[in-house]
């Protein structure tokens, strides 16, 4: 390990100097692929530095993608081809390739945002409130908006005082604030698997251990869930009963009720993430868990990103009394308050009764796009490829035969101007043969062509 011997110049901190040195060894090829770096203790002794210096150095190298670690088993040089691909992975697909068909992004189409109406309301708020619209707002949210949200929630059968309704800067902030309030290093959290990666990352970054419970067409697998509940004591379980992301599955009433029963029996909190309940293309509308939550076990998040406009960064959180104060404090220390200007405008939007009209409009559009994509999939995809038939939401979840990798498909598709989202990051126990197709950004007529193209790429891979 003599190649690691360096003389510190003292110009930078030691770990940075060492890091530069090792980077150079890797890039120059002096350290072969999968080479095991010396142990922390050994290298610290050899260089006569604090072990913390080595830890920081290795961590930074890992962050930058030069090495990988095997838990409990050391630190290794990454393979060269990964190294050169490194940046490609980070680059926004649409900006580097010429994307003609965006099936990757599951945010709603900006073409259907109510821009004109909203613009009038923005102006109305500024006429009315002047500079006060741009002042700090209360951490829990602008009171009139919280009152409007209280009445909006009754439409979903959630009866709760505005006192327990918090305005947050998007659903993602809800997850962050909940993690801060409920989780400590080493705690367990259950999620559906596959699951929204932003949730997994947030919970993990708090030091929690995330355990995935398989999601089935009618809801989370209750048998496996109860088995795991006997083994672990999770602080909460994170679920999306309405059109789960990424599968689009819908919990039936039995699954909803049973989950609430288990929460009571095993004393855990349920975090219900409602992103899509409004985009329900079926005839049946089931109550959210929060509406059935007589025991105050559910923290409910409703985001306005997918149904309305993500750039507003607005969502609501309903807290059980027990967590009301701590959640509000965590919100306060996250970003003090959500933009009062946007809160005031959204409040006007709700008060003028414009919400339902908008929801009905976009629901119809996306329902048609969904059907159009489903029928294209049926016509063109080989039968060994399975896909969900969602009754709501903005995307379809596709499973390739196990021998195929979604990543390969993605690469080839990209060259033909089609972007898709691969499923790898949605899994805690990594699986590589899933991907997600969103139907938000293509008109009914446009959808067939890229699906046909994807089908022919898949057939070529088989």
**Count of residues engaged in binding a copy of itself, rule: CB under 8 A:** 78
Beta bridge partners of 316: 167, 302
Is 341 a binding residue for ligand PLP by CB under 6 A? The answer is no
Candidates 213, 91, 161, 436; CA nearest to 321 is 161
Q: Which is nearer to a copy of itself, 255 or 313 (CB)?
A: 313
- The correct pick among 19, 191, 247, 305 for binding ligand PLP (CB under 6 A) is 305
The interface partner of residue 196, options being a copy of itself, ligand PLP, none and the CB cut-off 5 to 8 Å by kind, is: ligand PLP
Beta bridge partners of 274: 302
Residues 160-219 that bind a copy of itself (CB under 8 A): 169-170, 172-173, 176, 180, 184-185, 198, 201-202, 205, 207
- Output the six-digit token pair for 7: 């003389």
**Which stretch in 14-22, 70-78, 146-154, 245-253 sits in contact with a copy of itself by CB under 8 A?**
14-22
Q: How many Cβ atoms are within 10 Å of 383's Cβ, its own excluded?
A: 6
Window 362-401: contact mask with a copy of itself (x via CB under 8 A): ----------------------------------------
Helix (H, G, I), strand (E, B) or coil at 238: strand
Angle (deg, nearest 10), helices 340-351 and 115-129: 110
Beta bridge partners of 436: 397, 421
Spell 392-423 as b/e; 16+ CB within 10 A means b.
bbbbbbbbbeeebbbeebbeebbeeebbbbbb
Window 323-362: contact mask with a copy of itself (x via CB under 8 A): --xx--xx-xxxxxxxxxxx--------------------
Residues 278-297 that bind a copy of itself (CB under 8 A): 295-297
The interface partner of residue 58, options being a copy of itself, ligand PLP, none and the CB cut-off 5 to 8 Å by kind, is: none
CB 171 within 8 A of CB 275: yes
The interface partner of residue 338, options being ligand PLP, a copy of itself, none and the CB cut-off 5 to 8 Å by kind, is: a copy of itself
Q: Which residues contact 38 (CB under 8 A, 6 or more apart)?
A: 1, 4, 46
Residue 158: CB minimum distance to ligand PLP, A: 18
Q: Give the C-alpha distances (Å, rounded to integers) separating 426 from 209, 323, 353, 421, 436.
A: 16, 28, 37, 10, 10
CB 224 within 8 A of CB 364: no
- Output the six-digit token pair for 332: 């306060």
DSSP H helices in 381-433? 406-415
**Which stretch in 84-92, 170-178, 349-357, 387-395 sits in contact with ligand PLP by CB under 6 A?**
170-178
Candidates 248, 281, 424, 456; CA nearest to 363 is 281
The interface partner of residue 275, options being ligand PLP, a copy of itself, none and the CB cut-off 5 to 8 Å by kind, is: ligand PLP
- The correct pick among 166, 275, 344, 369 for binding ligand PLP (CB under 6 A) is 275
Is 192 a binding residue for ligand PLP by CB under 6 A? The answer is no
Residue 403: CB minimum distance to a copy of itself, A: 32
Is 297 a binding residue for ligand PLP by CB under 6 A? The answer is no
Q: Which is nearer to ligand PLP, 64 or 134 (CB)?
A: 134
Window 214-253: contact mask with ligand PLP (x via CB under 6 A): --------------------------x----x--------
The interface partner of residue 312, options being a copy of itself, ligand PLP, none and the CB cut-off 5 to 8 Å by kind, is: a copy of itself
**Which stretch in 57-65, 149-157, 408-416, 447-455 sits in contact with a copy of itself by CB under 8 A?**
57-65
- 151: Cα separation from own chain's centroid: 28
Is 336 a binding residue for ligand PLP by CB under 6 A? The answer is yes
Q: Give the C-alpha distances (Å, rounded to integers) separating 125 from 89, 122, 304, 316.
A: 42, 5, 20, 21
Binding footprint of ligand PLP on the chain (CB under 6 A): 170-172, 196, 198, 240, 245, 273, 275, 303, 305, 310, 315, 336
């Amino acid at each position: 390990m003599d190649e690691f011997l360096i003389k510190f110049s003292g110009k930078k901190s030691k770990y940075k100097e060492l890091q530069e040195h090792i980077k150079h060894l890797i890039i120059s090829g002096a350290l072969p692929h999968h080479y095991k770096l010396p142990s922390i203790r050994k290298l610290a002794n050899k260089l006569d530095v604090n072990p913390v210096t080595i830890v920081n150095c290795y961590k930074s190298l890992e962050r930058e993608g030069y090495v990988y670690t095997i838990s409990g088993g050391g630190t290794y040089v990454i393979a060269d081809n990964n190294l050169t691909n490194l940046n490609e992975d980070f680059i926004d697909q649409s900006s580097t390739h010429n994307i003609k068909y965006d099936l990757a992004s599951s945010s709603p189409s900006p073409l259907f945002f109510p821009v004109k109406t909203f613009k009038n309301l923005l102006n109305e708020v500024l006429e009315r409130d002047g500079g006060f619209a741009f002042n700090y707002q209360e951490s829990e949210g602008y009171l009139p908006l919280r009152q409007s949200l209280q009445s909006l929630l009754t439409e979903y059968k959630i009866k709760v005082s505005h006192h327990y309704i918090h305005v947050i800067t998007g659903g993602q902030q809800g997850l962050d604030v909940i993690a801060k309030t409920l989780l400590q290093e080493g705690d367990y959290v259950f999620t559906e698997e596959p699951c929204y990666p932003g949730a997994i990352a947030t919970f993990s970054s708090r030091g929690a251990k995330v355990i995935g419970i398989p999601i089935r067409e009618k809801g989370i697998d209750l048998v496996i869930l109860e088995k795991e509940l006997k083994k672990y004591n999770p602080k909460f379980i994170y679920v999306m009963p309405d059109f789960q992301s990424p599968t689009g599955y819908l919990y039936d009433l039995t699954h909803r009720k049973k989950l609430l029963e288990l929460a009571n029996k095993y004393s855990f909190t349920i975090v219900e993430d409602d992103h899509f309940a409004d985009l329900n293309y079926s005839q049946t509308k089931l109550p959210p868990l929060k509406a059935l939550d007589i025991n105050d076990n559910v923290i409910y998040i409703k985001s306005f990103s997918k149904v309305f406009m993500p750039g507003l960064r607005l969502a609501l959180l309903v807290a059980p009394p027990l967590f009301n104060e701590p959640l509000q404090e965590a919100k306060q220390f996250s970003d003090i308050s959500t933009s009062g200007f946007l809160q005031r405008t959204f409040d006007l939007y709700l008060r003028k009764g414009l919400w339902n009209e908008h929801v009905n409009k976009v629901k119809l559009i996306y329902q048609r796009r969904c059907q159009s994509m489903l029928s294209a999939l049926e016509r063109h995809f080989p039968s060994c490829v399975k896909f969900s038939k969602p009754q709501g939401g903005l995307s379809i979840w596709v499973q390739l035969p196990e021998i195929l990798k979604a990543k390969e498909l993605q690469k080839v598709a990209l060259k033909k101007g089609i972007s898709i989202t691969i499923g790898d990051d949605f899994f805690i126990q990594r699986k590589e043969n899933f991907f997600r197709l969103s139907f938000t950004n293509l008109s009914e007529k446009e959808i067939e062509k890229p699906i046909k193209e994807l089908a022919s790429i898949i057939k070529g891979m088989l």
